[in-house]
Amino acid sequence: MPMNIKPGYLLKVTTWENDGDNYNTVDIDGLTEEQVRFYIHVCKKFSIDVDASFGNEDVEIETLHNGMIEHIAAYKGVVPTKWKFENDDDVDNYFFFCDLLGDIGISSTEYGFWRVFESADVFLVPTAIQNVTSQFK
């Protein structure tokens, strides 16, 4: 399977499940600096090191909705369009949040607990990475 990493920033988000195991890392490539800053801002709402964290919690949809709106409103940078919560039908839908937070590895587990944000690593990929495997066969 060919590897295709887009130029731009590569964000690696590491999370774990509610009992401190099952670590997982999600890679998101081709990002702008503002997108990286925004995603890290959102991830921090799920860190156990912050007050009113949603990580490791079974959060009701209304609490999640209100908390995320407040958290994102406090962000001083550019908010991606799909995160602006302009449609009340979407923000009241649990699966809407699962999709958005799944993009950055903080999807809800089958038990209703949100994954805990552990760390983020950011790399700058100046050009498309070439697959040179054939040179080593």
**For the chain, domain boundaries:** 8-125
How confident is the model at residue 49, as a pLDDT? 84
Q: Would you say how long the chain is, in residues?
A: 137
Cα(131)–Cα(104) distance, integer angstroms: 25
How confident is the model at residue 99, as a pLDDT? 81
10-residue mean pLDDT series, the chain (137 residues): 78 86 90 95 90 83 83 89 68 71 81 86 89 87
Tokens of 80: 């991606």
pTM of the model: 0.84
Cα(10)–Cα(25) distance, integer angstroms: 12
